[in-house]
């Protein structure tokens, strides 16, 4: 029986899966520099770039333009290589990833100084209006490693997670099923998140590859630029964003063209912000729940229900120190650090916190997530985070610290406000006022950056 199963696994790994959904060679895949790129034109670009790549097992994909990233992503995969997706494009982060993959190379869409070892720039992606509809549509083995995503480092050192083409096909099927239910089978995407992040890969790279979806190649940052990008794409429109970016949009007062939906991830969406966004932009705000390890596997609309609905085929099994997940995109069950309670015969769940976030001091319990929520609820606090330090005090208790952006308040006023809502044993000390939190491109807070910022704000 073992031999039969091993043979089945090997055959499944070699099964070919398409690199691009092809119903129509003239299907628009992306809007790049104001030009609509068809499926046929896209494949021509991919094949041209693939032919120029050096031999290697992997490549760091540093392309910032989303269309260039898509071309490089598929060209790298077509050459049998894996896309390395570092937690940031900072030189030290890229160097660490390349050191972990000896012999790899790097590709980007612009000159870099300093440039990583074995770096080469993507050739100019000229649009050929005569691209043949009879192009050979490529496929790659289901078991091929096509991406290695790295966690953000918000809970420590970034960790590598390998994705096969089968993993990504399966996760995209779940995302498409969820979005089809809300906005229909054909839609266009503008994303404010970088394509290197697994959320950006899922919602702005894989959707146009494997669904009837087109994506805007830019990554607009300022509210007016987001509005312009949305104007450039056809309805129905989906805005892929994060709570940090969405808050800036709401507070700017910018007017957006009609949206079919807004999609958010990377951090829990405050219900108050969700309600404001839906009122401002007259569209449902959807969240997806997932991780670099698992990809997205659940969704909710927090203005309707705080509970999460699992994607088709996903099953959760609560454990003492987390939650085990079985999902179509996983080759084996994975364990999440999140604590959940199941509802509706396991089809929905409520998030209770993360095992690593749970605090117990003097026999009392709290969570870092709840403490941060209470900090952010203080009038005048614009941003903030509560976290636990590494070192313990004389009686073995690890101290709690906070960094706060609150230009009109002082530290004593903030601590007095916290005393009204939390037990004194959980008051963050030290609490430091800062100009801004060290959020990365997706709005997450790498732990190393928090500790460094705290060290730099030690009173003289």
Residue 189 has a pLDDT of: 98
Average of pLDDT values for 427-432? 90
Longest Cα separation, the chain: 74
pLDDT at residue 93 in the model: 85
In this prediction, residue 84 has a pLDDT band, given cuts at 50, 70 and 90, of very high
Q: Which residue has the higher pLDDT, 442 or 194?
A: 194
Name the superfamily (CATH) of residues 13-306: ANL, N-terminal domain (3.40.50.12780)
What are the C-alpha distances in Å from 232 to residues 34, 69, 449? 8, 20, 36
Give mean pLDDT, residues 108-128: 85
Cα distances from 159 to residues 45, 90, 93, in angstroms, run: 32, 16, 12
Q: Token digits for 116?
A: 């990583």
Asked whether residue 160 carries a pLDDT value surpassing 50, the answer given is yes
pLDDT above 70 (res 111): yes
- Among candidates 181, 179, 169, which has minimal Cα distance to 205? 169
Whether the per-residue pLDDT at 7 is higher than 70: the answer is: no
Angle at which helix 271-281 crosses helix 243-252, to 10 degrees, equals 50
* Rounded Cα distance, 433 and 423, in Å: 21
Give the residue with greater pLDDT, 63 vs 13: 63
Q: Is the pLDDT assigned to residue 103 strictly greater than 90?
A: yes
Nearest CA to 218 out of 227, 209, 210 is that of: 227
Burial status of residue 78 (CB atoms within 10 A of its CB: 0-12, 13-18, 19 or more): buried
CB atoms within 10 A of CB 54: 13
Among the residue ranges 32-41, 122-131, 333-342, 402-411, the one predicted with the least confidence is 122-131
Where do the structural domains in the chain lie, given as residue ranges? 13-306, 362-456
Contact (CB, 8 A) for 284 and 261: yes
Mean pLDDT (whole number) for 47-56: 94
Task: Report the C-alpha gap between 194 and 204 in whole angstroms.
Answer: 9
Mean pLDDT value across the chain: 89
Query: Residue 293 — pLDDT band, cuts 50, 70, 90?
Result: very high
pLDDT band at 99 (very low <50, low <70, confident <90, very high): very high
Distance CA 308, CA 300 (A): 5
pLDDT for 129: 65
**pLDDT score at 5:** 43
Asked if the peptide bond before residue 114 counts as cis, ω within 30 degrees of 0, the response is yes
**Residue 185 in 3-state DSSP?**
coil
Q: What is the pLDDT of residue 77?
A: 98
Q: Looking up tokens 């691209």, which residue turns up? A: 131
The Cα-based distances of 171 to 82, 166, 175, 294, 407 in angstroms read 18, 9, 6, 9, 42
What pTM was computed for the model?
0.84
Integer angstrom CA distances of residue 286 from 181, 245, 394? 12, 15, 46
- The mean per-residue pLDDT over the stretch 190-216 comes to 95
Residue 228 has pLDDT above 50, yes or no: yes
Residue 372 β-bridge partners: none
Least confident of 58-67, 129-138, 195-204, 403-412: 129-138
> Where residue 298 falls among pLDDT bands split at 50, 70, 90?
very high
pLDDT at 415: 92
Specify which of 112-121, 197-206, 355-364 reaches the highest per-range mean pLDDT: 197-206
Structure tokens at 288: 């997806």
**What residues contact residue 127 under an 8 Å CB cut-off, 6+ apart?**
32, 35, 37, 41
The DSSP letter of residue 205 is I
pLDDT of residue 394: 47
Considering only residues 64 and 359, tell me which one the structure prediction assigns the higher pLDDT: 64
Position 115 scores a pLDDT of: 86
Judge: domain 362-456, CATH 3.10.20.740: no
> For residue 267, what pLDDT is reported?
82
CA distances, 33 to each of 124, 127, 208, 215, 216 (Å)? 12, 10, 17, 12, 9
């Amino acid at each position: 029986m073992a031999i039969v199963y091993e043979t089945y696994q090997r055959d499944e790994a070699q099964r070919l899966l398409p690199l691009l959904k092809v119903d129509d060679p003239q299907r628009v895949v992306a809007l790049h520099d104001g030009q609509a790129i068809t499926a046929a034109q896209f494949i021509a670009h991919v094949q041209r770039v693939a032919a120029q790549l050096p031999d290697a097992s992997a490549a760091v994909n540093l392309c910032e333009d989303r269309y260039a990233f898509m071309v490089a992503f598929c060209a790298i995969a077509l050459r049998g290589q894996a896309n390395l997706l570092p937690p940031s494009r900072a030189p030290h982060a890229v160097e660490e990833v390349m050191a972990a993959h000896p012999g790899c190379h790097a590709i980007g869409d612009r000159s870099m100084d300093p440039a990583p070892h074995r770096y080469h720039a993507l050739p100019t992606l000229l649009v050929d209006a005569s691209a043949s509809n009879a192009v050979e549509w490529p496929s790659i083995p289901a078991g091929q490693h096509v991406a290695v995503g790295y966690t953000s480092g918000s809970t420590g050192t970034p960790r590598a997670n390998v994705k096969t083409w089968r993993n990504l096909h399966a996760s995209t099927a779940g995302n498409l099923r969820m979005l089809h239910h809300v906005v229909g089978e054909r839609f266009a995407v503008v994303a404010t998140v970088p394509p290197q992040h697994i959320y950006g890969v899922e919602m702005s790279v894989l959707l146009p590859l494997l669904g009837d979806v087109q994506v805007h190649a830019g990554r607009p940052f300022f509210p007016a630029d987001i509005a312009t990008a949305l104007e450039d794409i056809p309805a129905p429109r989906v805005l892929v964003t994060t709570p940090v970016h969405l808050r800036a949009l709401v507070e700017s007062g910018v007017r957006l063209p009609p949206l079919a939906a807004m999609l958010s991830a990377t951090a829990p969406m405050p219900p108050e912000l969700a309600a404001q966004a839906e009122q401002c932009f007259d569209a449902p705000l959807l969240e997806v729940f997932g991780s670099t390890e698992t990809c997205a596997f659940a969704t909710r609309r927090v203005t309707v229900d705080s509970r999460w609905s699992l994607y088709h085929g996903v099953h959760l099994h609560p454990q003492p120190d987390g939650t085990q997940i079985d999902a179509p995109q996983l080759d084996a069950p994975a364990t999440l650090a999140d604590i959940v309670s199941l509802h509706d015969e396991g089809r929905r769940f409520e998030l209770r916190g993360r095992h690593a976030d749970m605090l117990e001091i003097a026999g009392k319990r709290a969570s870092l997530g709840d403490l941060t929520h209470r900090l952010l609820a203080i009038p005048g606090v614009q941003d903030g985070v509560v976290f636990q330090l590494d070192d313990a005090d004389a009686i073995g208790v690890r101290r709690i610290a906070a960094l706060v952006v609150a230009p009109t308040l002082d530290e004593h006023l903030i601590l007095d406000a916290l005393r009204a809502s939390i037990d004194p044993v959980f008051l963050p000390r030290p609490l430091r006022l800062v100009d801004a939190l060290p959020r990365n491109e997706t709005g997450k807070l790498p732990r190393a950056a928090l500790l460094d910022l705290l060290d730099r704000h030690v009173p003289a």
